[in-house]
Amino acid sequence: MRLRRLRLRAWRRGIRELDLLIGPFADTQASDLSEEELATMERALSENDTDLYDWIIGRASPPPEYVGFLATIRAFHERR
């Protein structure tokens, strides 16, 4: 249930570009995340969409607690 909720939240953001960055990651990688990484993802998904998008694309520096998680999302997209 938790993973389903995370995937839904990842695809239902306010910015379509953010959906396309987080949604595929959640679909394919969320089940492999540790408990700590899932908690970080849940907190990140509670952040403002514009801030989250800027952090992922590198336009702004993220808070320290999200640095590793956002690097994981970027690495996921670099492999695709």
Question: How many of the other CB atoms lie within 10 Å of CB of 53?
Answer: 19
Q: Quickly state the pLDDT bin for 80 (edges 50, 70, 90).
A: confident
The single-letter code of the amino acid at 32 is D
Cβ contact 58:31 at 8 Å: no
The predicted model scores a pTM of 0.91
Q: How do residues 5-17 score in pLDDT, each as one tens digit?
A: 999 999 999 899 9
Q: How do residues 22-78 score in pLDDT, each as one tens digit?
A: 999 999 999 999 999 999 999 999 999 999 999 999 999 999 999 999 999 999 999
Would you tell me the crossing angle of helices 67-79 and 49-57 to the nearest 10 degrees?
Answer: 60
Cβ contact 30:7 at 8 Å: yes
